[in-house]
Amino acid sequence: MALKNIYLIRHGQSAENESGILSDGTAPLTAQGRQEATTVAARVQTLKPDTLMASHYLRAQQTAATISEATGLPVETYDFLFENRYPSWTIGKHHRAPDVLESALYIHDQYVEEDFKQDDAESFAELKERGQKTLSLLAAHSGQNIVVVSHGLFIRFLVGLMIFGNEFTGREFKALIHGFNTKNTGVTWCLYDESFHAKPWRLMTWNDHEHLAETNE
């Protein structure tokens, strides 16, 4: 029976995180983010990974590249591991601008309607489709100790989908968004055990960032 360790890692601090200005995925890591990536890479080495995956967004690619240098693993890039997509008109605006906040809160409220879309934002149904695609990839992949560098909201979504399965709704996701905090380069450890056919996923630790203690001193 296959038993897999999946390590979902949020990218290091990006220029978008530092400034609060939303980007289209091209924001690079800051100096602090590069240090965080180096620190988490040292930790990842102790996990003895055999597979390294990453979102195609620059901040995830740069974090994964640092992990790749430390582990010798090539980066497998997937274009469905990106962060939740909000309306394109928000790009270049501060994430706490009144109209951006209003839009985000409205979208979160409307996730209960799976097919609802605001402008060109991602619907809950679309999120669910690529979340299921991600879990199917992880379950079928030959790797047994898989590191995935992705994004805070999408990692929350994946964990929700693991726990609730197809019954996962926008109501639960909204609770995860507001109740599950994520630190940059935090490590979320999940187990996949195919012997539990109906519910093969287990959440072991959430956003563990003990490795950042020295970085933040």
Binding residue ranges for substrate: 10-17, 59
Torsion of Cα atoms, 153 then 35 then 96 then 174, to 10°: 20
Q: How far, in Å, CA of 81 to CA of 91, rounded?
A: 19
Read off the DSSP letter of residue 141.
S
CB 161 within 8 A of CB 168: yes
Q: How far, in Å, CA of 215 to CA of 13, rounded?
A: 12
CB 214 within 8 A of CB 39: yes
Q: How far, in Å, CA of 80 to CA of 150, rounded?
A: 10
What's the distance, CA 174 to chain centroid? 16
Would you list which residues are annotated within the binding site? Answer: 10-17, 59
In the chain, the N- to C-terminal Cα span, in Å, equals 43
CB 181: neighbour CB atoms within 10 A?
10
Element spanning 147, H or E: strand 145-150
Pairing of strands 201-208, 187-193: antiparallel
β-bridge mates for residue 202, sequence order: 191
